[in-house]
Amino acid sequence: MKKEYDIELLHRGFEIHPEVPEDGMPLTDYFPNANQMFEQLKAMGQSYGVEFNNLTMMPNTNKALQLAEYATTVNKSTEFNTAMYKATFVDDINISLISELKKIAISVGISETEVDQVYTSSKYKDSLDQNKVYCREQNITSVPTFIINDQISIVGAQSPDRFKDIFKQLKNGSTTF
């Protein structure tokens, strides 16, 4: 769609479940019906060519989101977020663990030294705090949430056709969706 429309994609890290222990926890302890939930997710994703596997862990995403904030500053946001998605939802990697995050970062060209620097500074944790304020102000309570032209908020995964329809309407000057 980037070829068809002038799209600027900005990822904002938003920690939905900060109460999860730092190293994560078994997914079924957090969501007792997790297996049923993932069967539905896999079926829905399959129709759009999006792969999901059964997950075993509920990660604490704070460190991953801090690293994603850093990735934005070095023009690696899309690559890092894509790799983190695959690690989490396809490969069932516990992204709570810095050792796993380092592997993901290195795979997209972010060095281990850079990762270490992210966690020795409060800069990226502060960015997450600012994102939390932004999300509260925008009434965002779940991910993914897409905000288009600062006026349209779409919650949840959507089909490419849904986005194309919105972009066409915007291009034609429509303000109702």
Decide which of 126 and 42 is more confident: 126
What span, in angstroms and rounded, lies between the C-alpha atoms of 51 and 121? 35
Query: How does residue 23 score in pLDDT terms, banded at 50, 70 and 90?
Result: very high
The reported pTM is 0.86
Beta partners for residue 10, in sequence order: none
What the block records as the tokens of 69 is 């904030």
pLDDT > 70 fraction of the chain, expressed in percent and rounded: 98
pLDDT, tens digit (0-9, with 9 covering 90-100), for 103-132? 999 999 999 999 999 999 999 999 999 999
Instruction: Calculate the average pLDDT of the chain.
Output: 90
Report the chain's terminal Cα–Cα distance, integer Å. Answer: 19
CA nearest to 150, candidates 122, 124, 128, 170:
170
**Taking the CB of residue 88, how many other CB atoms lie within 10 A of it?**
21
Whether residue 35 is predicted with pLDDT greater than 90 in this model: the reply is: no
Whether residue 72 is predicted with pLDDT greater than 80 in this model: the reply is: yes
Whether residue 46 is predicted with pLDDT greater than 90 in this model: the reply is: no
Query: How does residue 175 score in pLDDT terms, banded at 50, 70 and 90?
Result: low
